[in-house]
Every structure is written in structure tokens, then in C-alpha cells.
Amino acid sequence: MNDLFTPKALTDVSNLKKNKDDKTYTAHDIEVLEGLEPVRLRPGMYIGGTDAQSLHHLVAEILDNSMDEVVGGFASEIRVHFFENGYISISDNGRGIPIDPHPKFPDKSALEVILTTLHSGGKFKEGAYEISGGLHGVGLSVVNALSDFLEIQVVRQGHLYKQSYEKGIPQGPLMKEAGKYPGHGTKIIFHPDPEIFGENVQFDPVFLYHRVRSKAFLHKGVQIFWSMDVKEETSSSGDGKEQEEQLVSQKNRIPKEERFFFPGGLSDFVNFYLKEAPKVFNLLFSGEGVLSHGKGHVEWSLAWPLENDEMSEETLLGLMSYCNTIPTPQGGVHEQGFKAGILKAFRSVAERMGFKKFADIAPEDLFKHMKGILSLFIKNPQFQGQTKEKLVNSDLARPLEILIKNQFEQWLLDHREEAQDLLSHVELLIEERLTQKSQKELERKTATRRLRLPGKLADCRATGRSGTELFLVEGDSAGGSAKQARNRDTQAILPLRGKILNVANATLDKAEANQELMNLSLALGCGFGVNFKEKDLRYDRVIIMTDADVDGAHIAALLMTFFFEKMPNLVISGRLYLARPPLYRMVFGKDIFYARDENEKNAIIKRFEKKIQKFEMSRFKGLGEMSAVQLKETTMDPKNRTLERVMLGDSDSFLKEFVNDLMGKEAEKRFAFIQENAQFAKNLTF
């Protein structure tokens, strides 16, 4: 802890902005909503899964807690260290988590309550935090539960306190170290549990580095210190001396140590990413404001760069949005309100400048080349899902729209030259868009007339491919429900009769003679095998929607084999998906829950059995048993459904051998695979 709790390392925080009442942060500020649930049993409920993205969410949670201290005016420094053995250390010089006994649990310290109880923390108590990253139960307790080791160190009132945990279980009482320790703050060291994330669990230091840097951009006053352990590689210089390579790899260069401090905040962020990229105009539209009725504070910085071949992937990102320093990659109401305000302001100024087609300006015309960052700070943010990727506070969009419209409209009027440059740029994009639209409509109508679409296909109304989906379903029964449940504008349905031909052990002539495969090929419009042309594909996405049982899995496997063998580019381009329909429906009082497998079913029952003794449960034998409303709600509505993208690995030879072993003619290879991977069978539903 000497790196954090020493006089040299600490910054004077006496001048930092505090809450109005400068409330004392004690155990009374920790409000417990409910006990700890079996996080280890169902990690997906709390961090979205056990993949690499979910693994890094653990770091994000701890880092967000430290940023909450910064935003609240209680901390000025954060330190992040990545250890070579996979451990992570995150510390801040904030107030330090309270260590006194908790009022509701007098035998435990508030620190232990926070670490072992879901929905506990100062963010549930009015006054302890003015602004924080949200109230979902994805916090320190979840990180603790999913770590095989976690140690927490707290300095408060001149003393250092320590406690260690393994898999969420304290390994001893909270210990007070001897001696005096200046300063204050919290330090957490943890390692994700391989039992949860797999034996090859590993953080990506490049991803962590970029995430840490983005946090520093979001708050002008914070200093964030990044450091890491790497294997020392040496290279010989011209004079024969050995030089240490402070790199993770030659491809992804990041330093072993760096201090992030950006006094310009969001403007520094935009300038950093755009660098010297040519722009429609060189000025940034940057500003900040307070939403009406005290709903929050917003900051932004925008530019309109011109695309060129030298732009990096990061440069090509559009609007990057945050709420209380938490990234919201799926956007939400703050993005909607912000963009609505920008669009209305621009249309208004375009009309004043004599542009007759101002009403024809579409969002894509203005936002296609717009790059920038939006950062919102509000009380009580509401996110969709446990991983906080989309903001859903419904009362924010309108106040944000009004604020941004007024500010951008005034900015354009004050910068007439830049406004004219932007209008000229948008005029070109409108022309380009209308030309492309006419061409696509003509191409689709021509293709539709040329194709003999299969009679069972319920096509969508859209005339272009963008945003359209083709659902492949089992039989007419499921097809009937799906046709009623679909969005007729963008979703098409093609029922398939039984199990299709296994193309892995069939000749080309046999495949071309198979009626179901020909219907599928005709519906897609792109041919297959050597005749496949992706540009002729009639849908953006192809979604395999089969029953949640063994037969359904077999049909899905046969379809995936077909696409792998005959349309691999469709899979490579990320257009093939698997729908995840539920297997069970459970009713607890007025609440209805759907479970996709036995594990989800058991977890839901365990969650409610003590509260509600009686409940109803039904098992769907197939998609055809579900009503159109249920099918739409659980499997087809983009707002609620779960899709899994089918992706290919890096090795073509391995994939071909793997598919041939599982789907080919030699049953011995399939049997050998089952013997070697028998533990997989326990997850199958019969």
C-alpha cells in the first residue's frame, strides 16, 4: 500500500468539490437490500457470461467504484497495476470503505458486508453519493464471488485494515495493521477464478490500458497511473547495447508505466483520436450544461472528420457515450436525446440559411461522419441489463434534446462559416443517399422478379437488405407462430420440413437436388457453393430458430454445416445467428419468468421458493406450442431476445477436420469425440 498511502503519492483533496452537506461516510451509509445470491452458479445474470468481455467487466466494476469517488470529489488519484500472473490491483485515494460494524449486522464490518452481500453499498443510500455508476447488483460483491483470490486494503483515520477472500469467502477477520498510515483510500487486488472463466483465463492488457485511459479523459482533474508487469524482451541497438522493449507486442504497443492526466477533458479525447485527420471544419463543438429541473449535468465534444484510408478503427467510431463515466456502447436515451437535439438544431439553421430541402435531412446525413463523445452525470441511472451497456432513464431524452438544440443552434449561428461548410457536406451526402436508395430498390425488385421465391417463404416488406432478417424455423407449426410474431417490415420466415440433408457426407448433385436446400438458397438469393455471391444476399441476418431440445440442436447443427460447407463467406461476415428460445415458463404470483435450460430453471426456483411457496411451471415441447405473443417476447423481439453469432476460428484446416469428424461419414470419429468430451453431455436436455 506504500504506493498509495504515502504523503508523496497523495494529492491535497481539500479543494475538491464535495457534496453540499459534506456528509460523514460511515457504516450507516451502507444500505443492504437483500442477501447474497448464488453468483458463482449463474455468473451470466450479473456480468453477462463467462467470456473475455465478461471477464474484463470485473475490472470495470472496481474501476467504476474508484471513479465514483473521483466524481463525488473525494479522490484525485487512481492506480491500476496489471501483474504478469494475471492479478489486477486497483487503488484510489478516496475516503476508504467503512470498516466499522454495520448497523444491521453488528458482528460484521461494513467492508465485509459490501464484499459478501449483493445490493449493498453507499450508492443505495441518499447522500452518501450524489452520482454513481448505478444500482444494479454488479459490484464488488460479484467480483469477490467470481475471484479465487481477493485482498482488500483500506486506510482510514490513520490505520491500515486488511482482509482476504477466496471465492467470496472471508479467510479471516478484518485485521488492523500496526503503526500509523497517512492518507486514506482503498486498494483491491484480485484474480478471476479459473473454475468460472476457464483454465486459460487471461486479461488483455491492451484493452485494460485503453479503458483506463478513457476514464482519465472523462474527468479533467483526475490522475490515473497505469503500470504493468511484462516479460522483458531485449533487442540489440546499433551500438551493440541491449534496449528493454516496454511493449506487449510489436503489434499492440503500450507502455509499462504511464500517467494519464488530461486538463482539456473531452476535447483532449476527440483531438487525441482524430489527430491530424482532415475535417469538414477544424473547430470542435464542445460544451457542457445542466439539464432542466436538476436532472443532471452533460458534457460533449464533437467533430466532423472526412474519412480517409489512414484512419484507425478507433478514429472511425461514431458517438461514444458514457453515463457517470461508465461506457454505454449500446447507447440509450442520452444518445437519442442528444442526436435529436443536434438534428433539429441543424435543420433549423439550414432553413434560415435558405436550404429548401432542410426537412429532407436524415439522421444518417448528419451523423455519418460525426465523431465525438457524450458524457452524462445523473443521479439514479437506470441501465438495461446487468452489464450497464444501455441507459434507459425515460425522463432524460427530452431535457437533453432541448439543451443540445439550443446550444448547437446558437453555436452554428455564431460560426456561420463552419455552418456553411457542414451544410455543403450534408448536401453531398443527401444526394449520395438518395441515389443509392433508388439503385437498391431497383436491384431488389429486379432480383425478386428474377427469383422464384419458395411458396412457404413469408417475406418482409422492406425493399432493401439493410436491417432485414430471415428466420429458419422447424415445420409449419412453428412457422405459423413465427409469422404472427414477426415484424412484417423487417423479418421474414422460412419453415423447413424436418431435418435437412447433411451436406458433409453428400455429393454436390444430391445437395442441389434437395428441395429444402434449394428453397433456402432461393430465399437467400445468393446461390451456394461456387455460385455464392454475397452481394446478392437478400437479408442482413440469417437466424436459425429451432426448438430448445436435442432434435432442435441437431437441425441447427445440420444448418450450420450447410452454411459452413456451401456459404462460408456468409458466416465469416457475421451474418449467421442462433436464436435462444426458452424451455420453461414459470409463474410466481404476478411475475413470469422464462428459462432456457435446467440451470436457469433451478436458479429461478431457488431464488423464489422461500418467498413464494406455490408456482406454476410449464415446459415448451417446441416453438409451435408457444403463442405468438410468447414467441415474440422471448425469441424474436430485438429488445428482449438472445442471439448467438456463429463465428469461425482462425484455422481453416482445423475447422474442416473438426466438421468432418462430427458430421462426416465416419461414425468412429464422432464416437471418439463423445468419449473425450463426455462432460458436455450433462448439459443436454432430453
- Which pLDDT value is given to residue 136? 34
Could you tell me the sign of the dihedral formed by the alpha carbons of 75, 81, 82, 85, in that order?
negative
Catalytic residue list: 474, 547, 549, 551
Among 44-58, 245-259, 417-431, whose mean pLDDT is lowest? 245-259
178 CB burial (10 A radius; 0-12, 13-18, 19+): exposed
- Residue of 74 and 357 predicted with greater confidence: 74
Q: How far apart are CA 428 and CA 421, in angstroms?
A: 11
Could you tell me the sign of the dihedral formed by the alpha carbons of 24, 25, 28, 31, in that order?
positive
Q: How far apart are CA 113 and CA 159, in angstroms?
A: 20
How much is the average pLDDT of 317-334? 89
Q: Quick check: 222 pLDDT over 80?
A: yes
Q: How far apart are CA 317 and CA 369, in angstroms?
A: 9
- Which pLDDT value is given to residue 12? 40
- Residue of 305 and 120 predicted with greater confidence: 305
- Which pLDDT value is given to residue 640? 80
Helix (H, G, I), strand (E, B) or coil at 180: coil
Mean pLDDT of the chain: 81
- Which pLDDT value is given to residue 497? 82
Q: How far apart are CA 575 and CA 579, in angstroms?
A: 13
Q: Quick check: 569 pLDDT over 70?
A: yes
C-alpha distances out from residue 617 to 378, 583, 640, Å = 40, 11, 21
- Which pLDDT value is given to residue 438? 64
- Which pLDDT value is given to residue 544? 94
pLDDT tens digits for range 279-299: 889 899 999 999 988 788 999
Residue 616 CA, chain-centre distance (Å), reads 34
- Residue of 420 and 315 predicted with greater confidence: 420
| Contact partners, residue 514, CB within 8 Å, separation at least 6 | 500, 501, 506
- Which pLDDT value is given to residue 442? 54
pLDDT tens digits for range 105-131: 788 899 998 998 876 544 434 444 455
Among 14-18, 602-606, 609-613, whose mean pLDDT is lowest? 14-18
Q: List the grid coordinates of 49.
A: 457470461
C-alpha distances out from residue 472 to 73, 183, 492, 523, Å = 54, 62, 9, 10
Structural domains of the chain sorted by starting position, each given as residue range(s) with its CATH number in brackets: 27-234+255-259 (3.30.565.10), 264-432 (3.30.230.10)
Q: Quick check: 259 pLDDT over 70?
A: yes
Phi and psi at 146, nearest 5°, equal -100, 15
DSSP string of 528-561, one letter each residue: -GGG--GGG---SEEEEE--SSHHHHHHHHHHHH
Q: Quick check: 232 pLDDT over 50?
A: no
Q: How far apart are CA 586 and CA 618, in angstroms?
A: 7
- Which pLDDT value is given to residue 447? 56
Residue of 207, 203, 180, 208 whose CA lies nearest to 192 = 203
pLDDT tens digits for range 405-422: 999 999 999 999 999 999
- Which pLDDT value is given to residue 448? 55
Q: Quick check: 250 pLDDT over 50?
A: no
pLDDT tens digits for range 661-682: 677 667 777 777 777 776 555 4
- Residue of 339 and 5 predicted with greater confidence: 339
Highest mean pLDDT among 37-46, 369-378, 503-512: 369-378
pLDDT tens digits for range 132-167: 543 333 489 999 999 999 999 999 999 999 999 999
Share of the chain above pLDDT 70, in %: 79
Among 120-134, 219-233, 255-269, 317-331, whose mean pLDDT is lowest? 120-134
- Which pLDDT value is given to residue 538? 92
Among 283-292, 393-402, 479-488, 629-638, whose mean pLDDT is lowest? 479-488
- Which pLDDT value is given to residue 14? 37
Helix (H, G, I), strand (E, B) or coil at 269: helix
Q: Quick check: 15 pLDDT over 70?
A: no
Q: Quick check: 324 pLDDT over 80?
A: yes
Task: Provide the pLDDT confidence category of residue 321 given band limits of 50, 70 and 90.
Answer: very high
